[in-house]
């Protein structure tokens, strides 16, 4: 039995879609041009439901459990950037509503930019939240250690919420609740993350791959969003990225850490709509 409640399940239709290469679970709402959302490592599509609620009057909003995460397939291998990017392309082709606007956080940002390079005909534009080239090795070391420590057994949902609140101290309680209610499954003895530990370990290693070619070569409009207090994307990494691609607009969200869209949803929403409308 899976734990899923509240905004994560009540307001958005959830279904699994066979893309021909993988079956992914999505949450969807709205009508209009296609806008796809891709979460960060260990997370799932439910974290985007507050943003989807605000955008689904203008767009067909579809948030995706990426491979290895949530209720999507969890193959033994295939967790490099090109694997995730080709999943995105397969989903857009299957939905037959493209080209799509891609909104990605962290891992999802990397995958979205990579998809725009590999499959430009399927992508309109990208909002890349808090992941760029030039991330320092120390930051990736810290990320990998935290990812590998997350596969624990929890007694109940309250224990999950307490763990997540300690791990993500700046994420508001309602957003923590969405993560807790959507990201865990009941097993003997309690609750475990839906994200596959083996997939997370491979994905974390893959985040170390050189992202410079993708950002150098992307020809679609890309908005780069960074949390001012992000411990993953430093100010130096952002500055190097802007020197690589001075034409790409940048929004730095005051007071936000890495988890920009959960910590500062209103500013994130404004950044997305301003970019699209421009």
Active centre residues (catalytic): 106, 130, 258
Contact call for residues 189 and 150 (beta carbons, < 8 A)? no
Distance (Å, rounded) from C-alpha 150 to C-alpha 163?
9
CA distances from 9 to 5, 70, 131, 240 (A): 5, 13, 28, 40
Contact call for residues 190 and 154 (beta carbons, < 8 A)? yes
Element (H, E) at 108: helix 107-118
CA angle, 2 then 6 then 8, to 5°: 65
CB atoms within 10 A of CB 277: 7
Specify the pairing of strand 250-253 against strand 222-227: parallel
Beta strands in 11-59 (DSSP E): 13-18, 23-29, 34-38
Contact call for residues 125 and 58 (beta carbons, < 8 A)? no
């Amino acid at each position: 039995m899976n734990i899923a409640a509240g905004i994560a399940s009540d307001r958005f239709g959830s279904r699994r879609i066979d893309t021909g290469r993988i079956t992914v679970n999505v949450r969807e709402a709205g009508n209009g041009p296609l806008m796809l959302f891709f979460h960060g490592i260990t997370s799932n599509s439910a974290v985007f439901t507050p943003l989807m609620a605000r955008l689904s009057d203008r767009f067909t909003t579809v948030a995706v459990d990426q491979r290895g995460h949530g209720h999507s397939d969890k193959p033994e291998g295939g967790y490099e950037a090109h694997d995730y990017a080709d999943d995105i392309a397969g989903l857009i082709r299957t939905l037959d509503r493209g080209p799509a606007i891609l909104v990605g956080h962290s891992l999802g940002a990397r995958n979205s930019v990579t998809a725009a390079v590999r499959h430009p005909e399927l992508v309109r534009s990208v909002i890349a939240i808090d992941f760029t080239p030039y991330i320092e090795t120390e930051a990736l070391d810290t990320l990998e250690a935290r990812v590998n420590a997350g596969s624990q057994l929890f007694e109940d949902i309250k224990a999950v919420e307490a763990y997540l609140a300690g791990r993500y101290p700046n994420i508001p309680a309602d957003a923590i609740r969405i993560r807790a209610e959507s990201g865990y499954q009941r097993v003997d003895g309690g609750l475990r993350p839906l994200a596959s530990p083996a997939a997370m370990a491979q994905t974390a290693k893959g985040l170390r791959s050189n992202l410079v070619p993708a950002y150098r070569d992307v020809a679609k409009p890309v908005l780069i969003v960074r949390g001012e207090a992000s411990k993953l994307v430093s100010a130096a990494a952002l500055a190097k990225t802007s020197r690589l691609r001075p034409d790409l607009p940048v929004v730095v969200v005051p007071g936000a850490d890495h988890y920009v869209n959960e910590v500062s949803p209103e500013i994130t929403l404004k950044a997305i709509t301003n970019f699209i409308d421009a």
